[in-house]
Structure 1
Amino acid sequence: MGCKKVIKVKRLYFEDGWDLFFESLGVFPEELSSKVENIALIVADECEGFPLAIVRTATSMKGETKAGEWRHMLECLENLGNGQYEMDKWMADHLIRRFVYESIDERKKLRLQYNEGRKMLHKLKGHSMLDKFLRVLAIGIVEETSKIMRKAYEQLTEVPSDDQWEEDLQKVFLTGNNIQTIPDGTCPKCSQLSTLLLDGNVKLGYIADEFFNNMPALKILDLSRTRIKCLPESVSKLECLIALLLSGCVELSYIPSLRKLKRLISLDLSFTAITKAPGGLESLVNLRCLNLLTEDKLEMSDLLLSKLINLECLKVGWAQCLTDATGQSTQDLEKFKVIVAYFRDIGYFNAFVKFPPFRDAIRSYCLTLKDSSYNRDPSDGLFDKDYIINHSKKKVVIEDIFLANKNVRLPPDMKELDISDCHGLEYLCCSSGLSFPSFQHVQTLRLWRLWGLTDLVSPNADFLHQSTLFSHLADLEIGGCNSMKTLMPFKLLALLQNLSTISVNSCEKMEEIVGEDHSVMEVTHGDALMALLHDNFSHPTIELPMLTSLKLDNMPQLDVVYRGIMLCPSLQTFSAIQCERLSLPRMNNGTELLIGLTSDGCYWEK
């Protein structure tokens, strides 16, 4: 970058980082609710003391007072990966999405246009322009400011009067205000208006039917997270509209006919009160992304999906309708590239997973099997992530399901698996239940509150399967599994040569991380060194070349990590908090291992 001198910036202590965070946020702690303040505290901690990360994160959250928005930020930070701060990537996703909406080409595939957005972003990075564009994104402006009304987060209680809506306006940003109603008679004349953002006006309960009558060029309309009950009739006349975003309008129960919106590409009806597919939905032949995540079962024709001939991304809740539709026509699934779907019934889930087009055509998916209702808050968890941008996402979530003697069929190319709050699961992998081949490509495994889980792999499992089991596993996170005494046996851990992070906490009966059963496994890594070490110690040395982080927390019965030596040349962080009985591990990371002691436990950081 032409720098004459590189100055290394040290991480800030937490107290200093918290002060910088509030200073950049522009508020005092007492101005936030206790709930938001607690989340903000965790958000600041996720910045890991890096000043640039703290400032950029806090600045991006200016004006945000809702807990949902702060949870959204926390979720983004928690998924950035392995302690490497990638705030640019998180904000860049939003920039790319805006780029696609603003310059949409109806002849091109959606994925191709997102790739073009990424290329543009890469060029900006190369010319030191990314920060400028992120600032532009943060305040919601583009060039030609004279044609923009920018009144986002200004605590407005009323929509600007008609005389403030100049006819040559191109973009209007009213996000995050306190507007309660757009009264009858409000009908601004804006013949060139292409973008109107009213999202985040959580008190907005009524919009006059005639409000959109004189906005014939409108392309992007965002009414997400408002309290409207009915979408105005004038929306049905917006024939240039390409994106209609209504996510989180939890009281919205009526949408006028969409038959004339032939150019519509993205329709988001997630977390609304809609119970029937809107009229005219089958006519949207250019629709590429449809989000129908709702709590109640949505009534729609089995043939609807076959009529949406260009649909690439589908998000649907309680997806019996999806399974029924795919049972009638294999072509319905072959066109999809991205699917987010929820299932209550294991049978429907299995039928969908084994369907050939799903295995062969779907490029990105997140499938959830869950017995109870999912959270309606659109700012929580899975619903924050943009599955169009991340085409490599292949994830399965299993929650709140009784799994004893149940055979769940998992996708063979699955890369992420989350299982939580499930009873009846004694082994993650056994001769019945969750099948072995499904774990071969798993890179991230998270297991939470599986009260009956005793071991990851059944002792009766075929060892030939074990030799490839979890062979791609990089990140392992386990918590609240109170029947486990050993995380895994030596013979299994020795196979996990791609393992990068291990996090185990709140497993009350856990006594050891690595079990002593090593008789079956012949260690081949570093034969000469291993033989020498084996002569000197009663337990063979285990080598984990990729391990960078080992974190243990709140396990009162934990005595030992491993009784032999662990060779971890890439280790960066080791911590053991509230593990009172734990003996210090015998680990060799290529340098002298320094372990610090605190009142809660011990830690080590390279």
Structure 2
Amino acid sequence: MELIGPVVGFIKCIGAPTCNYLDNYRKLEEKMNDLRTRLNDLNVRKQDIESKNESEILHGKMVKKEVEKWLENVAKMNAEINNIEQKLSVVSCFSRARFGKLVQKKIELVKELHQNGCFPDGVAVDRPPAKGVALLTSDLEGETDVKSHIWKLLMDEDDEVGMIGVCGMGGIGKTTIMKHINNQLLKEERFDKVIWVTVSKEMNVFKVQEDIANCLHHNLPKDELERATTLNHILEGTSYVLILDDVWEQFSLSNIGIPDPKSNKGRKLVLTSRSIEVCGSTGCKVVQVQPLSKEESMNLFVNHVELDHSVVKNPELKEILNSIVERCGGLPLAIVTIAGSMKGVYDIREWRNARNELCQQVKSVKQWDKKVFECLMFSYNRLRDAEIQHCFLYCSLYPEDYSIKRMELIEKWIDEGFINGNTRQAMYDRGHSILNKLENNCLLERVLYFGIEISVKMHDVIRDMALSMECGPRFYVKAGLRLKELPDEHEWTTGNFDKVSLMHNTILEIPSHISPKCHNLSTLLLQQWHHGFGPALLSGFTTIPGTFFEHMNGLKVLDLSYTNISNLPDSISNLGNLYSLVLRGCHKLRYMPSLAELKALKKLDLYQTAINEIPPQMEMLEKLTYLGLKSGGLKELPTGTLPMFSRLQYLATMLQLKGEEVGKLSKLEFLSCLFHDMQEFRKYNSTVGTKWPENYICAVGSSLPTHASLFGMDDMFERPEKENSVYFVNCDLTNADFAMLPIDLDCFYIEKCDGLECLNDDYSFFHEAKSCFIWECQGIECVIDLSSWPCNPFKNIEKLVLGELCNLLELVRVGPTVKSPCPVVFSSLKEVFLWECSRMKKLFTVEMLQGLENLEELSIRDCIQMEKIVDNSGTRRHSNITSVVLPKLRELSLDSLPRLKTICGNGVMIPTDFLRRLSITGCPELERMPLLFPRLENGQPSTPPFLERIYVQPREWWESIEWDDPNAMHVHLSTFISYDSYY
């Protein structure tokens, strides 16, 4: 009996583990199914969160860092479970129990992740409030008196005038004047907000409400009555100037939700219109913009035609110029457009000819807006190139006041056959040349984003002229009007139209009985309105009747992108003249009919669709030069398919391709694709040799990069022309042969390549790269070992991103074999991101400082052992001389560094001459701030000239911080500091 107790205890001790072992062994498949179900639920929540993020960003907010971190963790979990799936098929009997235990652990982690993804307080926070948006302007000529008058009415302290109507002919300069006033108001303190809304010809109350709310960073309900009430309440609570540009018809302020400006001295409404009646009907104080005087007109013309004023003194030329300018009737748009078409002309005979042409065409421009068309037609005819004229007219198919991306427009011109060439690069170059000519001739306007020109816009008067031309192609355009119904069939099928544009609407249905008789129609643009954020925000028709394309035998270009269609009708197969079929962003598209009869097809875009197999008989498309192909249900092309497209110039896909097959596409100029492993990548290398495409993005490995989206790289694969990149994910790089890689590599990305110890000279192809990303490589202890590099390694790297490198100890290792002085490293470096490198204690050494003079952005977070940013402990401080480092630093972000004691010490400081943003959170051990402030002429410190934001936490820590600059306390920083929101 004495043994019973210990025996029972022993059985209990081993019983539970044994049961767990058997349970894990027997129920492995059941547990995997449970894991898959829970992962699917998690990814559904992830999609919802991402949709919320996109919506919040659209409305001017910023995603919380905790949400970003959660999404990163979900991405990691997907990758880990994908790895489990791959191992499942080869798991042995002896490993089943251990594998089952791993699966059970992942189930618990997925459950926890799912629970953590609730975010009851929302996914985003407000951005720092902006007063308004500065607008790109051109110089004023002659409108200064009108501008002064409008400004006086706005700034009148008695606020007698609450509504101002600026009216005048199209092209007379109303919008230009108001853009200058908008920018000037941003510098004034009288109004809290300056709101600019472009209304355009077809006034859409919903769009106007949405634009106003977006400027104020607010969301509006969907119900029409609620929207007006909500907007009214928002506007009631602030002082503002609301500018409604290009109003064509009378409207009710209350229907939109705009409070009566007369009832409050802090509100002003300005509208511009071609109609004095519209301005008067809304109770505005009318300000008319008059045509320019003769002198003002001549000055504007001479400045834009870029003639030397001394040349104009030639009596005959002066007489000709006077005659040309007189026929412009003092309209700035006409003057600038005609001047643009004559830019660079010095031959007096050509000027005489231009005057004769203009006199025959333009009788007068004095009373009506339509008269300006005659001046604009002169500039159109001066193009004297049918190809360029066709390209210009095509722009009118886009919505009014729409910014058209340059590359998108050039692609459309190629689809239409306006631009031809042996290579795609030559056609792109020709397209940019045409765009430059149209811009220089003032027929298109440049649109800048952050100083970069990526879009163009057509002035509404010029667009009206293009659409009214009797001699040009026949267009039917109802673009960007938020239509919910297809226009009446009779309206757009009886006009014998060449091109029909119904793009950027929200057409909900294509009636089942419709069969438009459009035998001469060559282009049909049905792409619907979208924000570019994926399926959650798409709307529009879901089906296309089988009869819809029956009478469109001449159709050459068909764009159905960003619609909700799930299948294409079989009648598509009969469009034997079709050149371009664009289905990009049709996230629900699953079924495609046979493409065998589309013998003329050159472009097929199936990027971001849901097809599970390639379209039937797609291999018959022998003329294909452009192929975009991405679908979650499609992993690879059937062997032997790709070589059938021997004319391919542009291939953008997320499918895993055979290296040898891709290598045989000799005409390929733009490539993005995946190779499953290094073996396929080597096959591609050996096939192409040194003749890589002009632009390429290749991912090598069994999985996709999981962190690229953090740096705006998630859409890279659909734009291989952006920069040349190679991604290595979960690859063995130890014995890789990179000798055949091209020298024009811009970016390389390495993730989960655990055998990588450092980047030595075997990776010499990285010498010319500008960006380097290394993530989750457990074997790496240093990025560069100087003992195995020539002088000045990584001389071109501008961006360095290092994340989750658990064994990284130092950026640069200086061994005993390195000769003194130490080689300059990272001499072009501008951005450094160091995240979750848990063993790193010091970032920059003294040896590295000489190469960091160009560093502009430094972000370090979650490095729990980090003690110093700049380690200059081995240097001596010379008396009271202050040394400076990182002289061009613009942004400094330090987050969750619990052991950080110093940023830099020993008399070394960071100047703030270029500092824009400073963020320091979770650094409790940091006691001193080594920032050196700029000095005024009297020697006193001043606020950094470019400073925008300081975000610090906690407040108590910041208030206790000591400054290395003895005069720091005299600098007023309080207006830039935030303690309670992300920056």
Above 0.5 in TM-score?
A: yes
2:752 corresponding residue in structure 1? 402
Specify the alignment match of 1:275 in structure 2. Answer: 612
| Cα gap change, 1:599 to 1:402, in 2 (>3 Å) | closer
Question: Per the alignment, do residues 118 and 231 of structure 1 end up closer, same or farther by CA in structure 2, a change over 3 Å counting?
Answer: same
Residue by residue, what CA displacement relative to the aligned partner does 1:49-95 show, whole Å, maximum 9, x if unpaired?
xx9xxx9xxxxxxxxxxxxxxxxxxxxxxxxxxxxxxxx99843434
Q: How much has 1:485 moved relative to structure 2?
A: 3.1
Aligned residues of 1:236 and 1:261 also touching (Cα < 8 A): yes
* Equivalent of 2:697 in 362, 366, 378: 366
In 2: Cα distance, 1:461 partner to 1:356 partner: 42
1:442 corresponds to 2:807: no
Q: Is the 8 A contact 2:728 2:750 kept in 1?
A: no
Separation in structure 1 between the aligned mates of residue 817 and residue 672 of structure 2, nearest angstrom: 33
1:554 maps to what in 2?
895
Structure 1 counterpart SS, 2:609: coil
Aligned partners of 1:447 and 1:425: how far apart in 2? Answer: 13
Partner of 1:562, secondary structure, is: coil
Tell me how far 1:290 sits from its aligned partner.
Answer: 1.4
Partner of 1:511: 867
Is 1:144 aligned to 2:467, yes or no? Answer: yes
User: Match for 1:144: what amino acid?
Assistant: L
- Greater Cα offset, 232-241 or 90-99: 90-99
Contact kept in structure 2, 1:402 and 1:424, CA below 8 Å: yes
CA-CA distance at 1:514 after TM superposition: 1.8
Structure 1 residues 562, 599: closer, same or farther in 2, change over 3 A?
A: closer
2:477 counterpart SS class: strand
The residue matched to 2:219 in structure 1 has which SS? Answer: helix
Shift of 1:130: 0.8
Which has the bigger relative contact order, CA under 8 A and spacing at least 6?
A: 1
Distance 1:358 1:13 in 2: 62
Amino acid at match of 2:842: T
1:66-215 to structure 2, matched below 5 A, reads 91-128=405-442, 129-130=444-445, 134-136=456-458, 143-144=466-467, 147-152=475-480, 154-156=482-484, 158-167=485-494, 168-200=496-528, 202-215=539-552
Change over 3 Å in CA distance of 1:127–1:458 after alignment to 2: same
Contact map agreement 1:543 1:568 (CA 8 A) in 2: yes
Q: Secondary structure at the match of 2:628?
A: strand
Bigger Rg over Cα: 2
Q: Match for residue 43 of structure 1?
A: none
- Report percent identity of matched pairs: 22
Q: Which amino acid aligns with 2:798?
A: Q
Q: How far apart, CA to CA, are the structure 2 residues paired with 1:385 and 1:9?
A: 42
Contact 1:371 1:400 in 2 (8 A): no
Report the equivalent of 1:313: 650
Structure 2 letter corresponding to 1:120 = I
* SS across alignment from 1:185: coil
Compare 125-134 and 271-280 and name the one that shifted more: 125-134
How large is the RMSD of aligned CA atoms in angstroms?
4.9
Task: Give deviations 1:241-299, integer Å, cap 9, x for gaps.
Answer: 33222223233233223334344333221222333333443343432321222334444
1:424 partner amino acid = Q
Helix, strand or coil at the partner of 2:567: coil
Partner of 1:490: 846
Look up the match of 2:833.
477
Contact kept? 1:259, 1:283, Cα under 8 Å? yes
Deviation readout 1:192-234 (Å, 9 max, x if unpaired): 3233233346343221223122223323322223332322222
- 8 Å contact 1:397–1:419 — kept in the other structure? no
Report what 1:522 is aligned to. Answer: none
Normalised TM-score (structure 2): 0.46
Per-residue CA deviations over 1:362-417 (Å, capped at 9, x if unaligned) read 32222345755689xx9x85327863654x44464758953322589975354333
Distance 1:194 1:140, change over 3 A: farther
**Which residue in the other structure is 1:60 paired with?**
none
Change (3 A) 1:405 1:429: same
Q: CA deviation at 1:188?
A: 0.7
| Alignment counterpart, residue 221 of structure 1, candidates 558, 566, 587 | 558
Separation in 1, partners of 2:604, 2:694:
20
Task: Choose between structure 1 and 2: higher helix proportion.
Answer: 2
Are residues 576 and 583 of structure 1, via their aligned partners in 2, closer, same or farther at CA, if it must alter by over 3 Å?
A: farther
Residue identity in the other structure for 2:517? K
Deviations 1:309-361 (A, max 9, x none): 22122222242x232524xxx443x532222223554x357536854737542
- 2:778 maps to 1:424: yes
Q: Distance in 2 between matches of 1:136 and 1:446?
A: 40
Residues 497-555 of structure 1: CA deviation (Å, up to 9, x unaligned): 54343333454543322233768xxxxxxxxxxxxx963379x946556x351321434
1:304 matched to 2:641? The reply is yes
The aligned length equals: 529
Rounded Cα–Cα distance in structure 1 between residues aligned with 2:912 and 2:491? 64
TM-score by length of 1: 0.70
Q: CA deviation at 1:31?
A: 2.0
Secondary structure of the equivalent of 2:715? helix
The amino acid of 1:254's aligned partner reads Y
Counterpart of 2:878?
Answer: 535
Contact 1:151 1:175 in 2 (8 A): yes
- Cα distance, 1:103 vs. partner? 4.5
Question: What code does the residue aligned with 1:271 have?
Answer: Q
Q: How far apart, CA to CA, are the structure 2 residues paired with 1:349 and 1:456? A: 32
For the Cα contact (< 8 Å) 2:404–2:457, is it kept in 1?
A: no
CA distance in 1 between counterparts of 2:874 and 2:623 reads: 59
Stretch deviating more after TM superposition (201-210 or 435-444): 435-444
Whole-Å separation in 2 of the counterparts to 1:292 and 1:12: 49
1:351 aligns with 2:682: yes
Distance 1:295 1:350 in 2: 22
Moved more, 211-220 or 192-201: 192-201
8 Å Cα contact 2:838/2:862 also seen in 1 = yes
Is the CA contact (8 Å cut-off) linking 1:95 and 1:137 kept in structure 2? no
Distance 2:868 2:632 in 1: 42
CA deviations 1:13-55 (Å, max 9, x no partner) are 999569668978144723269xxxxxxxxxxxxxxxxx9xxx9
2 CA distance for matches of 1:562 and 1:218?
A: 67
Give 1:12 deviation, angstroms. Answer: 6.8
Deviation of 1:124 after TM superposition, in Å, equals 4.2
CA 1:566–1:217 in 2, change beyond 3 Å: closer, same or farther?
Answer: farther
Structure 1's 231 and 553: CA in aligned 2 closer, same or farther, altered over 3 A? same
Distance in 2 (CA, whole Å) between partners of 1:12 and 1:396 is: 46
Cα distance between partner residues in 2 of 1:480 and 1:212: 56
1:26-41 alignment, distance < 5 Å:
26-27=212-213, 29-31=218-220
Change (3 A) 1:473 1:177: same
Gaps of 5+ in 2: 1-137, 145-179, 198-207, 223-240, 246-401, 448-454, 469-473, 529-537, 730-748, 959-972, 977-983
Alpha-carbon shift at residue 150 of structure 1 (Å): 0.9
Q: What amino acid does structure 2 have at the position aligned with 1:429?
A: V
Equivalent runs, 1:47-58 vs 2, <5 Å: none
Task: Give distance in 2, aligned partners of 1:187 and 1:241.
Answer: 18
Q: 1:199 to 1:585 in 2, by over 3 A?
A: same
